[in-house]
Structure 1
Amino acid sequence: MTAVLFDFSGTLFRVESTESWLRAALNDTGQALPEPRLKAAAAALEAAGALPGGANPVELPEDLAGLWAVRDKSAELHRAAYTGLTRRVPLPDPGLYDALYERHMDPQAWAPYPDAAEVLRTLRERGIGVAVVSNIGWDLRPVFRAHGLDRYVDAYALSYEHGVQKPDPRLFSVACAALGADPRQVVMVGDSKEADGGAAALGCQVHFVEHLPVTERPDALLPVLDLVG
């Protein structure tokens, strides 16, 4: 194998909890909620699937279904889909809906999995190309820079920058081309069999990890080092 493609959310990084997300947005806007109301609002936001990178909606509203299906094809669609879900939950200030969306793009809202740095560093030392392939509506590069991992990434293929989202093989093809790698000598690592499994159409080997909290997944990325030899 000459290169490895990694998904972002749920693979290399995990977003903060919905409660932490709401607390941060309240703090950023100088607001507060009584603890019972805060916890109830966080639970409602969780059920709504309002946090990008978090849980999917328990029940997707019919009027947002079409938007949800293509949400990662542009920055505008992504914001519209997620703020649409967030607005299903009553909050004390209308400004909080945009504040929540802005918060999820803050590098502080994301934590790398415990073994991410070791795996990325080792791949660099072995001369293995690395690209991040993500369905996303915003530039995640600052997250990698803030956590000191950008030095190990050679290329990014982000859905909103190309107007195409996984599992469409074209997004994986963009990443392989950027690395100068033959897809048949590439491993795609991700947490979604539906989305990340699309790389198999190009001939890539696919390796899946579970989308778990960082404290519950200390070493799931390490087997990738065995796959590339």
Structure 2
Amino acid sequence: MTAVLFDFSGTLFRVEPTESWLRAVLEQAGLTLDDEELADAARALEEAGALPGGANPSRLPEELVDLWAVRDSSAELHRAAYTALSRQVTLPDPALHDALYDRHMTPAAWAPYPDAAEVLRTLRERGIGVGVVSNIGWDLRPVFRTHGLDPYVDAYVLSYEHGVQKPDPRLFATACAALGAEPEEVVMVGDNRHADGGAAALGCGVHFVDHLPVTERPDALRPVLDQVPRKA
């Protein structure tokens, strides 16, 4: 293998819990809910699927089905989809729905998995190209920079910047080309068997991890190192 592609959310990073997400935005707005109200609102937002990188909607409203299917193809559609889901939940101030969306794009809302830095650093030391291929509607590069992982990434291929979503093979092909690697020499690492599995159609190997909280998944990325050569 000459290169490894990684998904972002649920693979290298995990977004904060829904309750922490809501609490941070309420505090910034100078608003408070009692513990029960906060828990109820967070639960409703989670069921709605309003937190990008969090749980999918438990029930997708019919009027949002088409938008949801293409949400990662542009920044505008991504914001529209997730704020529409958020607005299904009544909050103390309507402005909170946009504030919640803005919060999830901040580095503070994300934590790297415990083994992410080690794996990326080791790949760099072995001369293996690293790409991040994500279905997303915003620029995640600041998250990598803030958490010290950007020096290990050679290419970012983000769906909203190309108007193409995984599992479309074109997104993986763009990443392979950016790394100067043939697909047969590339492994795609991700948590979504449908989206990330699309790399197999191009000829890439695929390695899946589970989308778990960071405290529950300490070393799922390390087996990737067994698939790439050590430096002589």
Q: Tell me whether the two structures share a fold, i.e. TM-score over 0.5.
A: yes
Distance 2:117 2:28 in 1: 29
**Is 1:204 aligned to 2:185, yes or no?**
no
Give 1:168 shift: 0.1
Q: TM-score, normalised by structure 2?
A: 0.98
Q: Deviations over 1:137-194 (max 9, x none)?
A: 0000000000000000000000000000000000001100000000000000000000
Distance 1:8 1:200 in 2: 18
Unmatched 5+ stretches in structure 2:
none
**Is 1:122 aligned to 2:122, yes or no?**
yes
Report the equivalent of 2:33: 33
Name the SS for the 1:207 alignment partner. strand
Q: Deviations over 1:184-207 (max 9, x none)?
A: 000000000000000001100000
AA aligned opposite 2:135: N
Name the SS for the 2:60 alignment partner. coil
Distance 2:164 2:222 in 1: 29
Distance 2:151 2:120 in 1: 9
Report the equivalent of 1:51: 51
Report the equivalent of 1:74: 74
Distance 1:165 1:29 in 2: 34
Name the SS for the 2:5 alignment partner. strand
AA aligned opposite 1:135: N
AA aligned opposite 1:53: G
Q: Deviations over 1:76-129 (max 9, x none)?
A: 000000000000000010110010000000100000000000000000000000
AA aligned opposite 1:179: L
Name the SS for the 1:9 alignment partner. coil
AA aligned opposite 1:136: I
More displaced stretch, 28-37 vs 161-170:
28-37
**Is 1:134 aligned to 2:134, yes or no?**
yes
AA aligned opposite 2:166: K
Report the equivalent of 2:189: 189
AA aligned opposite 1:118: E
Report the equivalent of 1:176: 176
AA aligned opposite 1:194: H
Distance 2:26 2:8 in 1: 26
Name the SS for the 2:132 alignment partner. strand
Distance 1:203 1:91 in 2: 47
Report the equivalent of 1:14: 14
Give 1:30 shift: 1.4
More displaced stretch, 28-37 vs 121-130:
28-37
AA aligned opposite 2:181: A
Report the equivalent of 2:162: 162
AA aligned opposite 2:65: A
Structure 1: which 4+ aligned runs deviate by more than 3 Å? none
Give 1:35 shift: 1.3
AA aligned opposite 2:15: V
Q: Deviations over 1:53-75 (max 9, x none)?
A: 00000000000010000000000
Identity of aligned residues (%): 79
Distance 2:138 2:198 in 1: 21
Unmatched 5+ stretches in structure 1:
none
Q: Deviations over 1:206-226 (max 9, x none)?
A: 000000000000000000000
